[in-house]
Structure 1
Amino acid sequence: MRALLALLLALPAPAAVEARDDAGQAVKLAAPARRIVSLSPHATELLYEIGAGDRLVGRDGASDYPAAAAKLPAVGLYGAFNVEAIVALKPDLVVAWEGPQAGAATRRLRALGIPVFASQPGDVAAIPATLRALGTLSGQAAEAERRAARFETGWAALERRYRQSTPLSVVPQVGDAPAMTVNDRQFVAAAFRACNTRNPFGAERAAVPLMSVEALAAARPRAIVALATPAVAEGWLARWRTLPGRPALLAVDADTLGRPTSRILAAGEALCLRLDALRGG
């Protein structure tokens, strides 16, 4: 018994870790987190990517990737988190997309002494930083660094590939009834910029400008891209089939282009290839 106790005492204590979140707050843990609750689909995805999936003990109801995430207990959706259910999971770290709707829950968690990391990547450049911060807090810093560096290299290569190509007028569609696009400041616009496209509504002050048949007829885009499932996109795009200039009508997965995760790289590469074909056509 004494020998075992001496051995345990000789082992190095877990080192404290610290990372600054997207709210500018330093999140400090006495040791890398071993029980993590993710309250955002992008955070869930990134934690699995860096090898911290086995440390996840709970998720928000929208976290659906990878498939293993669906097996975790769901503790509500954005704006309706069950704080008692989260506390019952005994997390030593909660990762959340904070905002007016989620703020009440995260304030309660902090008041209970549970560390909360606010993760709100606003652009593609923030994805590697998020990977590194989550890697530090979960004890997966080495794998997180590899993933972050790989993403940075890949995204830079994608932007270089189309930088000298002819700019293409393309409108992303993110909603219907009423039809909506996004301005250039929204995250989903990043992949379209990498493809060297221009959204004629991109300079609008509204985050999600409304579109009409008349406005699109005047803009004469080369393509309209619906961010929706194929079945949903078919309904969205039907109204544009008689537009002057007959723009190409395409559908892409909203999750891969709209979530701030590493999957946006492959999705962006595929989107750029489809749009680049229009330049030749």
Structure 2
Amino acid sequence: MTEAAAIARSSGPVTQARLVVDLQRLGVLPGMALLVHTSLSRIGWVCGGARTVIESLLQAVGPDGTIVMPAQSSELSDPSGWCNPPAPESWWETIRATMPPYDPHLTPTRGMGQIAEVFRTWPGVRRSTHPQVSFTALGPLAADILATQPMEDPFGTHSPLAALSSHNAQVLMIGTGWDTCTALHLAERLAEPDGPRFQDGTCITADGERRWIRISLPKTKTERFTLFGARLDGNALLRHGHIGSAASRLFPLTPTIRMAVQDWSRQEQSPQSDQ
């Protein structure tokens, strides 16, 4: 969305004071641990842009709260699997041989939006170790939430998502759809711990040297996120409102994951699950 379009959808400049009020009305409280998904353009024309949104989130949760965002860097994957756009096959070996290794401080996010990218570089923000699907966090719980993220099970029982669940975190979706709800990957892993996998590659630093490594990752079915979310939208667990002009949701992570696990486990056991 262009800046002109953002102005057109706004009744006036969206300020930090307004955003804080909107967050409070939705149910964001001091001391909360929040996993945040945001679309800056959906909020409208924000005075100060991504910086203002981040400062509003930090003000709303206060010094005892913790903000977490996905910080995915999908380019650190095997070029044979790239499709948007695809890389010519003649380039693959060169990409594998020369791609810079993952660095939590230097590797940018990809496809996460302006707010997630600005948050990545925010003073004091920590980042987890996974080269493809890391998380960033700021607040008292940041170190604990990001402490572990297994290379071949980045969304499972020892992931930042599981740690967020153990801290009774809330999920805040500002102008984003269910198809991008990273939290639901934890439900996938719990519902199908032995589910199908695919082979990928990535670039890391090990023992001080750059290395291209092969990894096995769980397959995901994000198409079912939207179907589950449509049912969840009518549930009392969710609070709906607007942050600026963006339709937004706030909901507790743990009971939502529990519902998704029950739903998807039943589907896997049903003979109609593949129809």
TM (normalized to structure 2)? Answer: 0.25
TM (normalized to structure 1)? Answer: 0.25
Could you say which structure has the higher strand fraction? 2
Could you say which structure has the higher helix fraction? 1
